[in-house]
Amino acid sequence: MNYAFFLLPLSVVSKSNKGLDENGSFIEFEGNRIYRLHVVGSVVTVDINEDGRSGYAIIDDTSSSILAHFQSTLIKEIEKLARGDLVEVVGYIDIYNESVTLSMVNIKGISVERYAHNKIESIKNMKALGVK
User: What is the rounded CA–CA span in Å between residue 49 and residue 125?
Assistant: 35
Any idea where the domains of the chain sit in the sequence? 2-128
**3-state secondary structure (DSSP) of residue 17:** strand
- Could you give the dihedral angle defined by the CA atoms of residues 116, 86, 68 and 89, in that order, rounded to the nearest 10 degrees? 50
Alpha carbon of 8 to those of 16, 52, 71, 107: distances in Å? 11, 31, 24, 16
User: What is the rounded CA–CA span in Å between residue 114 and residue 121?
Assistant: 11
Q: What average pLDDT score do residues 73-98 get?
A: 92
96 has pLDDT over 90? no
For 47-60, write each residue's pLDDT tens digit: 999 998 899 999 99
Q: Give the predicted TM-score (pTM) of the model.
A: 0.87
CATH of 2-128, one of 3.40.50.1980, 2.40.50.140, 2.40.160.20, 2.50.20.10: 2.40.50.140
At residue 127, the pLDDT reads: 76
What lies within 8 Å, CB to CB, of 131 at 6+ separation is 12, 30
User: What is the rounded CA–CA span in Å between residue 127 and residue 132?
Assistant: 6
| First-to-final CA distance of the chain | 20
pLDDT band for 14, please (50, 70, 90 cuts).
confident
